[in-house]
Amino acid sequence: MSGKDIKKQGENKNELVKEAKQAKSIETKKADDKVEEKDKVEKETEKKKKAKKKRGIFGKYKKEKKKEKKKGEEEEEEKERVVYLEIQPEYEIVDEYWIQEPFAKVKIAKLPELGGQKVYFVEEAQLTPSEKKAVDKLIDILSVELNPPEGFEEDIRKHVIDEARRLAEKYKKAIKGVTEENWDKILYYIERDLLGYGPIDVMMRDFRLEDISCDGVNRAIHVWHREHESIPTNVIFVDKEYLREFIIKLAHMAGKHISAAFPIVDAMLPGRHRLAATYGEEVSPRGSTFTIRKFREKPLSIINLLESGNLDEWTAAYLWFMLENRVTLMVIGATAAGKTTLLNSLTSFFKPGFKVVTIEETPELNLPHENWVQLVSRESYGLGEAKVGEITLFDLVKVSLRYRPDYIIVGEIRGEEAFVLFQAMSTGHGGMSTMHADSLDRAVKRLVSPPMNVSPAYIPSLNIVVLTERTILPTGEFSRRIRRIWEIEDYGRYREIVRWNPTTDKHEIINDSYLIPRLAEFQGKAPEDVLEEIRRRQVVLTWMKFTEIRDMKDVSKIILEYYVSSQEVYLRAVQDLERLGVKVEKIGPRVVAVAQASPRSSRESQVFIRESTKPVVRHVVEKPVEEKPVKIVSEEPKVEEEVKGPSLQDKILVTLLKLGGESDYVSLINLLNVRKNEFSSVVRDLIRAKMIVPVITYVENRPTLGYKLTAEGDRRARELSK
């Protein structure tokens, strides 16, 4: 073997060794990569185990929630937040009317299972599932892409409808179920939920309702109907969270804040409706609640009150003359007795030159007056004792004196602002207000007690007190009436001028005026001239009533014309009344001569001289009048026969039925306006007849004697009600 062959063989051997080394290196690298990959997988697995162990049950919940996300969304869509109970064929419908035809209708029906109780049913056009999704999507899109109107004068409703149509066309591929046939129905629900009050929008638009109240979840909303009184509805909130959200929406609509930290709100909604609400279970254990006291778009005028019988023409003319002369006046009564409505209607008697300042916590007054300054208190949301930025009624009454007002009107006095108001009235400012009290005696006791602390020496600064009540009429129905009017001579000396007779449903003059001769002397006139002027104004008010001039603005316009040219307006009223067949000479005060020793219900105590051709003029009695009737001498009074009505037994049974079948004796006596001994005698007869049974009731956490209808009494009361 030559040297070349040996050299070549060595080179081949080296190449083989090199290839073997390379192959081994590749295999080693692959093995290393596998080990690294295995280690990486093990590390990730260990990391996931640690993370899962750390998350525990919450990690499991998130995993399950992610898997069932779609299912949850579907269930959320199908979940009912508000339930509308359907009216059944066996229910007796007693009333029905459209709110917005053909989409919203109201039916009042009697339910046999509730013993014939009336229920307010809301019926709305039903949405299909596709229409419901279209409405929800459009509302969501409008909430984001709604362009603001170009100016404040533009109609908001029309602008929203135009924007909804534009966005529906823009997203027509995403929004399914919208056609020309159902577009009006979809717009109704968009307007209802976006611009309106959602599930209670129909009730808010029903002008026959005065009050809407929700007592919590799974409880029917109750309403106060002007014709059917307090009745439940078929609308029920069943979702606690949705009710909370709804109350937050109401608070925001009123420009207020409500939360768990501040769970109470008292505010004014758009349209001047008054809202009182509680949030969550902080102060109301049964959950969120709200009450809305609806405000009339057109306030009731004094002519509306005359037509309803709240007061008579002479009383209205008497108050007209008093307010013209800046007499101070207070309206008292219980809750929902019509105090603010009466106060607002009386402001139409102001002279056009008067400067008026109103002070309220929630603005409710709506004066038909040009020179009117409206002030509203402001609450503070500061925590603790510091109330930074709070403005109270007390502060506003003080600042109102700088406006040099002819009349200061405080919506309701209940605190230290009463002291400043009486100070202002004692310096010559006219003043009007309302206060919660069921009698003049209790009103004065509240005034002289903390926190009002009005000195008894300032009580005569208040000239007239009017008591208004929601009471039972001779027909058995409930209505509002001015029950009594007093003139205040001094602290502890009060003269009753007008009293409502519950038997005849008439207002009667039972005493001579203390203020009329003093105002006559101040004007340089005789008291007879003032009485004649009141009679002339009574003619004008009667004329407006017969000619149906009842709008607040129209009434104020006539009163303004009377201030400018009283003779011209009076002659026009006389001519129109004579053309209508009304004898003007018979229009005058209804004066009652009351025998001192006889009871109020006797025939001798109801003497009228209304039919006299001339207004009755009597000398003013300077002696203070006590609460009991005072004898008034008149020439040959004509006795008007007493109108026969239901017996006191029947009235007691019907009243108990209206009050739920049970009541305390004090409330019954006050509602029926009878003497205690007469009431006790009739009650004993009813107990012997097994119509009622005595029970113990609790009034203000105190045990009080009451009475409850038996089965026989309930049957008899229902027969009488029919």
List beta partners, residue 73.
none
| Segment holding 497, helix H or strand E | strand 493-501
The domain 82-293 is classified under which CATH number: 3.30.450.380, 3.30.210.10, 1.10.3720.10, 3.40.50.300?
3.30.450.380
Burial of 402 (0-12, 13-18, 19+ CB in 10 A): exposed
The pLDDT tens digits of the residues spanning 34-92 come to: 666 766 667 666 666 655 544 443 444 444 555 555 555 444 444 689 999 999 988 99
Alpha-carbon span 268 to 607, nearest angstrom: 48
Domain map (residue ranges) of the chain: 3-67, 82-293, 302-379+390-586, 648-721
Q: Looking at mean pLDDT, say which of 131-135, 296-300, 355-359 comes out highest.
A: 355-359
The residue ranking higher by pLDDT, 210 or 700, is: 210
Task: Identify the architecture of domain 302-379+390-586 in CATH.
Answer: 3-Layer(aba) Sandwich (3.40)
- Where would I find the beta strands (DSSP E) of 346-403? 356-360, 372-376
The pLDDT tens digits of the residues spanning 598-621 come to: 333 332 223 232 333 334 333 333
Q: Which residues contact 467 (CB under 8 A, 6 or more apart)?
A: 332, 333, 438, 439, 440, 482, 483, 484, 485, 486
The two domains 302-379+390-586 and 648-721 share their CATH topology (first three levels equal): no
Point out the least confidently predicted range of 170-184, 409-423, 460-474. Answer: 170-184
Q: Is a pLDDT exceeding 70 seen at residue 13?
A: no
Q: Looking at mean pLDDT, say which of 152-156, 492-496, 681-685 comes out highest.
A: 492-496
Structure tokens that stand for 526 in this block:
């005789």
Q: Which residues contact 349 (CB under 8 A, 6 or more apart)?
A: 302, 319, 320, 323, 324, 559
The pLDDT tens digits of the residues spanning 314-326 come to: 999 999 999 999 9
Q: Which residues contact 387 (CB under 8 A, 6 or more apart)?
A: 380
State the fold for domain 648-721.
Answer: Arc Repressor Mutant, subunit A (1.10.10)
Q: Which residues contact 209 (CB under 8 A, 6 or more apart)?
A: 203, 223, 224, 225, 226, 294
DSSP 492: T
Residue 109: strand, helix, or coil: strand
Asked whether the bond before 270 is cis by omega within 30 degrees of 0, the reply is no
> DSSP secondary structure string, 227-257?
TTEEEEEEEEE--HHHHHHHHHHHHHHTT--
Q: Is a pLDDT exceeding 60 seen at residue 251?
A: yes
Q: What are the phi and psi torsion angles at 235 (to 5°)?
A: -100, 125
The three state secondary structure string of 123-170 is: EECCCCHHHHHHHHHHHHHHHHHCCCCCCCCCCHHHHHHHHHHHHHHH
